[in-house]
């Protein structure tokens, strides 16, 4: 009799712990996604952290370590943008749904590749199964500038239809290079 009461309490404890975890993540995601700090604010924060630190540790990471980690992430990002030619200007996401094994996020992304600019919106569904996380793109919408080119619009609509985000980016760099080459050639003959 007592054992079953224990079990009821233990089950409720597990449920509560899961709910707390999800609520915490929801809160933190929402905070992250609705805030924005400019580069100046970032720099000010680094400076103010270094001033107030002055030798105390409190179990927190030192400002120089934090600065180094930030620096390393920024270096990786700027390397990738330079290497692939894909420059992202802005990115925002919003967590639309989050359960134990399933997360749906809405993304907005804008950037350019050489002289072609793009604006994307898509939903990303991530599902946790036993060993891995699967990712599926839905509701892909692409705006390209310049967009009057009929080849580009055909390519864009077929990409959107199948959620082919990967193909879009893989083709973008080669198309952008070709487009740039063609543009320069025309200018040369003007």
**Rule CB under 8 A: which residues touch another protein?**
2, 5-6, 9-10, 12-13, 16-17, 19-20, 23-24, 26-27, 30-32, 34-35, 37, 41-42, 44-46, 48-49, 52, 60, 66, 69-70, 72-77, 79-80, 83-84, 86, 88, 91, 93, 107, 109, 124, 134-138, 140, 162-167, 169-170, 174
For residues 85 and 113, is the Cβ–Cβ distance under 8 A? yes
* Residue with smaller CB distance to another protein, 45 or 153: 45
Please report how close the Cβ of residue 32 comes to another protein at its closest, in angstroms.
Answer: 5
Of 159, 154, 156, give the one whose Cα is nearest residue 144.
Answer: 156
CB of 154 to another protein, least distance (A): 17
DSSP single-letter state for residue 54: T
Between 30 and 157, name the residue whose CB sits nearer to another protein.
Answer: 30
Q: Which is nearer to another protein, 6 or 187 (CB)?
A: 6
Q: Which residue has the tokens 């749906």?
A: 104
State the residue for tokens 């892909």: 140
Cα-flanking dihedrals φ and ψ of residue 16, to 5°?
-65, -45
Run of H or E residues at 157: helix 150-162
């Amino acid at each position: 009799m007592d054992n079953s009461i224990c079990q009821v309490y233990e089950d409720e404890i597990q449920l509560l712990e899961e709910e707390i975890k999800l609520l915490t993540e929801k809160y933190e995601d929402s905070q992250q996604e609705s805030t924005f700090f400019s580069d100046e604010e970032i720099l000010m924060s680094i400076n103010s952290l270094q001033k107030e630190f002055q030798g105390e540790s409190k179990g927190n990471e030192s400002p120089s370590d934090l600065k180094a980690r930030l620096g390393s992430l920024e270096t990786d990002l700027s390397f990738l943008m330079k290497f692939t030619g894909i420059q992202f200007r802005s990115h925002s996401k919003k967590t639309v749904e989050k359960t134990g094994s399933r997360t749906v996020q809405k993304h907005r992304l804008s950037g350019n590749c050489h002289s072609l600019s793009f604006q994307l919106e898509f939903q990303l569904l991530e599902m946790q199964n036993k060993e891995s996380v699967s990712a599926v793109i839905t509701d892909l919408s692409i705006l390209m500038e310049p967009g009057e080119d009929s080849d580009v619009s055909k390519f864009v609509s077929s990409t959107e239809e199948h959620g082919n985000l990967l193909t879009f980016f893989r083709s973008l760099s080669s198309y952008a290079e070709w487009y740039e080459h063609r543009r320069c050639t025309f200018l040369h003959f003007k």
